[in-house]
Amino acid sequence: MTAPDRPVPHPSPLTQPFWAACRDGRLLVQRCDKCGTHVFTPQEFCRECHADALTWVESAGAGHVVTFTVVWRPQTPAFGVPYVVAVVRLDEGYEMVTNIVGSSPDAVTIGAAVRVRFTPVTDAITLPCFELVA
């Protein structure tokens, strides 16, 4: 029996630069040209000042765990358990919902330092997951 396909994002014209950069091993985020706020998820306008001038910039991909949960009963059998779903605050000030990979779920703690680790799931989609910094 083959494993079921993992659900993957479907890039839109707005999110295409983000997904293309992930495929190339780079983490992009939008930054407001008016107030300098980093904006994630991709938007048409700044959430802080509502300006519509946003530029894609590269993120360092470093941050820390804000909160997390360990999933033992996945929504679909395509996901092996256990896995960690976390909110990570990047050093640039924005947050992402992501997976913590490469370590035991028991090793993950709130406040733990993390860095981006790109995980290919198809030829077209690479996910920005995070790993604990030793």
13 pLDDT above the threshold of 70: yes
Residue 9 belongs to some domain of the structure:
no
Residue 2 belongs to some domain of the structure:
no
Model confidence over 25-66: pLDDT tens digits? 999 999 999 999 999 999 999 999 999 999 999 999 999 999
Residue 1 belongs to some domain of the structure:
no
Looking at residue 93, what DSSP letter applies?
A: S
1 pLDDT above the threshold of 50: no
Residue 34 belongs to some domain of the structure:
yes
pTM score > 0.85 for this model? yes
Q: How many domains does the chain have?
A: 1
Q: How far apart are the C-alpha atoms of 65 and 38, rounded to whole Å?
A: 18
Residue 49 belongs to some domain of the structure:
yes
Q: Containing domain of residue 127, as a range?
A: 16-132
The share of the chain scoring above pLDDT 70, in percent, equals 97
The pLDDT of residue 7: 87
- Amino acid in position 8: V
Residue 6 belongs to some domain of the structure:
no
2 pLDDT above the threshold of 60: no
What's the order of all strands across the beta sheet hosting 54-58?
Answer: 38-39, 28-32, 54-58
Residue 55 belongs to some domain of the structure:
yes
* pLDDT band with cut points at 50, 70 and 90 for residue 5: confident
